Structure 1
Amino acid sequence: MDQPRIWRLLDTGFRSAAQNMALDRVILESRAQGRCPDTLRFLQFARPSVLVGYHQQTDQEVRLDFCQRQGMEVNRRITGGGAILFEPSHIGWEIVASREDPFFRGSPEQGARLIAEIFCQAIREEFGLPFSFRPRNDIEIRGRKISGTGGTAEGKAFLFQGTLLVDLDIWQMLRALRVPMEKLKAHEVDSLMERVTTMRRELGFIPDAARIKEAVARGFASALGVGFQVAGLTPWEQARLEALLPQFSSSSWVDRPSPVSQRRSLIKALHRGDGGVIRLLLDLDSARKRIRSAVISGDFFAFPARAVYDLESRFKDIPARMEEVEILLEGFFSEGSSPFPSLGIQDFSQVFRKALGKIPYLELGFTFEETHDLFPVGGSLSQVLGRG
């Protein structure tokens, strides 16, 4: 019988944000250069830390003054995606491996699904929780996000990572990230909070971190057909960490401007139809004219309830154009019987049209609040301006 391949099981413990982000770079470089074996890494943070994605602008995503007052660290990931709050209770997990491994030779999307589903299966078997992967990068329980994922590559190696929310101070998260809560009504904040869950919420207690890590390692060992050997950083990795730490601690890294200009806006719209009321909240990157995410709520029925989350997931980082919205709505409603018995595709199309119709107001300098009180007479805004 062939002996299983041996991977490194690396737990780097509680570290600062700068150390953890530098270690992502160090271990990826080490694997790309053949200096270390394929690795499953666990990481945690010594204190609450806000991490922006590689392509984001820190001051656009983070309330820096709040973080400073709270003693929270702020740093930048080497992977893309959105800003997150990483608390000491959260468990980070990473696969750093060779891209030439037959197990990972598919597309990046296929690799992401494969690894995420192994993680989901490991948690399902250990805790009985219905974890599931939702492309592109979320792990959920019944439609509520409990782990984000992301990755990057260098040479012949790749890094794929996830963050498991064990517990969460969601009010601290909303205040640390630049979510304009002061512009949202209570029910809108509640709607945002309902889209996130934690191990504590699902289990009724905080599971031991060691139990989670053991379950995840066992799941990957079984699925990949590998054995794990517990080991620390190599001497080369330790030296490389010390060399890179000043860079990852510097303002030039943390506050580095994005190569793509970003300007974040929130747009609200409401549609009253015969079958109910739909409220839409769009998180808009107005500089790039892209919808970052959508939150749909209101007075209507959905069967199953998670159908709302399934619909919302279609509107992540898409062009802020009605043609694109209508294509996605048609795709959703063509997959089977409608989960919204009293609402049709036209209802959702109308509320998106109302929201996107407010973008020109923002471009003219009106504020988020003012867009709710402006109603063009005699046509759309573009039609009215065209007659001016």
Structure 2
Amino acid sequence: MKWRVVNTGIDHAANNMAIDEAILRAHISDEAPPTIRFYGWKPAAMSIGYFQKATDEINIEKCRIAGIDVVRRLTGGRAVLHDAELTYSVVVRENYPQIPSTITASYCYFSKGLLAGLNKLGIDANMSIPRAAYGQTRRRHASAACFDAPSHYEITAQGRKLAGSSQVRKEGVILQHGSLLLAFDPVKIASLLNLPSLERQNMVAEMLSKRAVSIKEIVDKEITWESACQVMTEAFGAALGIELEPGQLSEKEQAIASELTDTKYSCDSWNLLR
């Protein structure tokens, strides 16, 4: 089976999350093929993991004053500021022939697509190796921000995290999505977290600057969203050993996404109350 690759462009937070879930639902009901999607965010948004409590982790009032959307993801993980980034999502059945059976191994598999695209951009990137492989215990996260440390098989460059991903499985289908940093502003991220003092905020900003890196910092020039999207689209399929075919969302997927935007991802009852 050919996989579909969809470029839905730059959209607002609620619609972005609704489209990912709409593709997931369509694939569960065999009404959509395996799909890789690329998208961006406008305005900028803070997304929080499914199990996080928004009001504990981020400063909702500061986000609203700054015009930054707040949305809860269907996947787990920690808070992410989606701003200057290329976001990808993958939807495929977990028993698809090429897909490894374990969650960590599937992260490794999908990360190969990101590595291939980054290599085409001239970036020497690597996959983070699980600490267990070295007999080490996992380090406790220093903040609620996703980019304060890489997880298993996420992408690093210059020893710092460049791409973060999260995954959920529903009715035998995987939804994995993640952020590839085109630019990175640790001060801005830290200012939006729920931190007890300015001193703590500055400490987190400094920590993030040491643990995360962007494409712009690595190549010392601006890489546009359009350019990054084109390169990733060209590289992803070959790296994963799959055939990609350009496609669009079906009318049913668009209808599901529109309903989810209005009844779920635009609502405080989903985004804030946990």
TM-score range, shorter chain: 0.7 to 0.9
* CA root-mean-square deviation: 1.8
CA change 1:193–1:179 in 2 (3 A) is: farther
Count of residue correspondences: 251
Determine if contact 2:186/2:208 at 8 Å carries over to the other structure. no
For structure 1, the residue ranges without an aligned partner over 5 or more in a row are 258-388
**Counterparts in 2 of 1:189 and 1:85: CA distance versus 1, 3 Å:** closer
Which structure has the larger Rg over C-alpha atoms? 1
Contact kept in structure 2, 1:174 and 1:181, CA below 8 Å:
no
CA contact (8 A) 2:4 2:34 kept: yes
**Pairwise CA distance, 1:228:** 2.2
Match of 1:129 in 2: 123
Superposed CA offset, 1:56-75 (max 9, x none): 00001111111111111001
Q: One-letter code of the match for 1:39?
A: T
Q: CA deviation at 1:190?
A: 2.5
Residue 205 of structure 1: aligned partner: 221
- CA gap of 1:200–1:180, structure 2 versus 1, over 3 A, is farther
User: Which residue in 1 is equivalent to 2:61?
Assistant: 65
1:197 counterpart letter in structure 2: V
Distance 2:255 2:202 in 1: 50
In structure 2, what is the Cα distance between the partners aligned to 1:151 and 1:185? 28
Structure-2 residue corresponding to 1:238? 254
Instruction: Provide the identity percentage.
Output: 24
* Aligned 8 A contact 1:181 1:189 in 2: no
| Equivalent runs, 1:302-321 vs 2, <5 Å | none
Partner letter of residue 47 of structure 1?
A: P
Equivalent residue, structure 2, for 1:252 = 269
- Choose the corresponding residue for 1:171, options 184, 187, 205: 187
Counterparts of 1:150 and 1:187, CA distance in 2:
26
Call closer, same or farther: CA 1:199–1:243 in 2, change over 3 Å: same
Shift of 1:180: 4.3
Matched residue SS, 2:212: coil
> What does residue 94 of structure 1 align with?
89
Q: Residue 55 of structure 1 corresponds to which residue in structure 2? A: 51
Q: Do 1:17 and 1:45's aligned partners in 2 also have CA atoms closer than 8 Å?
A: yes
Larger relative CO (CA 8 A, sep 6+): 1 or 2?
2
Mapping 1:19-58, distance limit 5 Å: 19-58=15-54
Deviations 1:229-248 (A, max 9, x none): 22211011011112222221
Counterpart position of 1:13: 9
Q: Distance in 2 between matches of 1:60 and 1:176?
A: 12
**Structure 1 residues 186 and 15, CA, compared in 2 at 3 Å: closer, same or farther?**
closer
State the TM-score, normalizing by the size of structure 1: 0.61
